Amino acid sequence: MSARIGLDQTVEPTPGDVIETDLRVRSGHSGMHGVKYEPGAVRQVCSNGMMAFVADQQYEQTHGEEFQPGLAMHAVDAVVEGTDQVEQRLEEAQKRTLRNQDEALLILQDLGIDRYLENPTADLVTAVNEQAEDVEEPSLYDTFNAATYALTHLAEDDIPQYQLDTGYEQAAELLEYGDGIPSARILGENAVRRRANELIEDPDAEEYWEGETEAVRDLMEEYEIQA
């Protein structure tokens, strides 16, 4: 079971795009944890499910431990004190752009967002088109919003919430790397390299979309990846 608690803290990385920081509380469903507190945020323009993008601010209590009410207090402090950090990360994520839409789609597939969708490629294209300010050169922020849009609006109906929560955490990798934002180049290059290896090792592998092999080849040339 999970619940969100709003704390009246907001950031606005771009005019009109108001984001409310909040706290998600989850009780254990798999036996791995008893209670988990995760600072995160929700876009007011669309409940996209932005969450857990400050991975080092996660507070967890296992089933075998005595109840620790102090964890909740630390989690609340993390939300309140981390608002400036969140705003800085989101602004920086808007500045880090990918080479094209194909690269954004490969990254989203590489993160595993496709696993939650009935029509993975079509749904991811829809999500990028809906969320990217510049579809031809989407930013990390655009790509993150596309991931959470897909999970919120396009995921299969029978997927339980705890699995979607895992999807949101996977999407959060677009906004967190240590204490900062990941490199768009490294994310893209890694996704292209892995997908290229899949296509090379399995000649019968189906393309994600028509013309994907050529798109991957073009990106390999840009990154100087040897086949």
How many Å apart are CA 3 and CA 173, to the nearest integer? 22
How much is the pLDDT for 207?
Answer: 96
CB 63 within 8 A of CB 31: yes
How much is the pLDDT for 24?
Answer: 62
Query: 173 in helix, strand or coil?
Result: helix
Q: What letter would DSSP give residue 154?
A: I
CB 223 within 8 A of CB 188: yes
pTM: 0.74
Chain centre to alpha carbon of residue 198: 23
How much is the pLDDT for 71?
Answer: 40
CB 167 within 8 A of CB 155: yes
Residues 6+ apart with CB under 8 A from 124: 105, 108, 109, 113, 114, 117, 146, 150
pLDDT values of the chain reduced to their tens digit, one per residue, 227 residues: 555 555 567 767 777 777 777 666 655 544 444 455 566 666 765 655 554 444 444 434 344 444 444 444 444 444 545 566 777 778 899 999 999 999 999 999 999 999 999 999 999 999 999 999 999 999 999 999 999 899 999 999 999 988 998 998 899 899 888 778 899 999 999 999 999 999 999 989 999 999 999 999 999 999 999 97
